[in-house]
Amino acid sequence: MGTIALVDEHGTALGRCWCQFEGYLSTQYTQDKSFQHLYDVVAWNSNTAKAAMLADIGQGQSAEVYHGEGSEFPLSVYQKGSKVSLQKSSATREEDKKRMLHLVCGTPEAHWEKKKPPADSHAYNVVNADLRPRYIGGAIYAVCIQRDVKHLKKYLGDFPEYVNVGIHGGLCGIHVAAEHNEVDILKMLIQAEANVNAMTQDGSTPLVLAAQASHEEALNLLLKARADPNATRKDGYCPLHCAIESRDIVLAGTLLDAKADANGGPFTETPLELAARLDEAAMCDMLLNAGAIAGRAHTRARRESKVQGTLIEAAKNDMQNDVLQAMQEESAESVFGARSRRPSATDLQVVDDMGLIAEGKKPHKKRH
């Protein structure tokens, strides 16, 4: 069915002629098969004490496959693989390399012992061009982590179509640049048309990561490149939530100016509720001014959720506009904050009656 190359965490074998020749046989000599001959690479990672596979997914592409938490294909192997060169590879026996190069070049076997293989050949380039791209996505990610602008420029120049290829967890170079505020690298990636809305496995976009780490420069660059300010992680958090969680009112304001939804989407905790829970009164005021609804969706208790939801529904039906206005004028701390008073029995009875009215029913008699 295929070939599995087993390498150490440094990718030592990838610099050896026999390993590259094996790759050549697996990818070139098998093209007349009725099925695809797979060429997978498995590497050991001493940091995680686990092995990970770079699996052949066809058309010269590979994808990282790992089993168990923390299993990651080593970045050093990605970088080593991106530079494979059959003609520059090493061999313990020079005569072995000589014969392999002759075979690849198509030299008649009768001349193998008499002639030296050519120093350069289109046939070598074909082999290299088939093997290198399998590692490019991870190599780009690696140089972004290493802040290696020189090699990143070379990779993006030679392999521009691989700028959005991710590694484990869907991570791409642009995620690294955003998370660590590497502005020069981020600019290069954006110019190379990296996907500014690329999502990791947990749904994090570069904008989410920049907001989470409170990186103003990276966040502004991404917004300028039209990153979506409302893209959400799988847990429902959007960039605005992350800026609030970082207690960064400047970033939160920048996101709101970029049309981030002040209500944050349909999930358990709105940006306003998060700001109130963190006792960020100024943030709450800003969100209310940006259109955040003071009683929206879910709150810490089911009963309070019913209170607020009913108030909003009533307001929409022009039944209790004065109540909504009073809620919005009241400071967020008094509505949601940690120091807010608990609703009294009377409060809850009023709300229950409002709920009945909103449903077209009569309120309880003799209660108030």
Question: Residue 33 has what pLDDT?
Answer: 76
Phi, psi angles (nearest 5°) of residue 343? -65, 135
Residues belonging to the chain: 368
Closest CA to 269 of 213, 220, 308, 314: 308
Q: Quick: pLDDT tens for 183-224.
A: 999 999 999 999 999 999 899 999 999 999 999 999 999 999
Residue 107, token pair as written in the block: 């030299």
H-run or E-run covering 291:
none
Question: Residue 280 has what pLDDT?
Answer: 94
Q: Are 244 and 278 in contact (CB under 8 A)?
A: yes
Question: Residue 173 has what pLDDT?
Answer: 96
Query: First CA to last CA across the chain, in angstroms?
Result: 79
Question: Residue 68 has what pLDDT?
Answer: 59
Question: Residue 28 has what pLDDT?
Answer: 81
The SS3 call for residue 3 is strand
DSSP state of 98: H
DSSP state of 214: T
Question: Residue 1 has what pLDDT?
Answer: 85
Sheet with 50-58: strands ordered across: 2-7, 38-45, 50-58, 61-66
Alpha helical stretches, state H, the chain: 17-27, 75-81, 94-105, 122-131, 133-145, 149-158, 173-179, 183-191, 206-212, 216-224, 239-245, 249-257, 271-277, 281-289, 302-316, 321-329, 332-335, 345-358
pTM across the whole model: 0.75
Q: How many CB atoms lie within 10 A of CB 258?
A: 20
Q: Are 312 and 335 in contact (CB under 8 A)?
A: no
Question: Residue 302 has what pLDDT?
Answer: 33
What residues in the chain have per-residue pLDDT under 50? 296-312, 314-343, 367-368
Question: Residue 345 has what pLDDT?
Answer: 55
For residue 15, give Cα distances in angstroms to 10, 20, 90, 128, 252.
Answer: 10, 8, 6, 12, 49
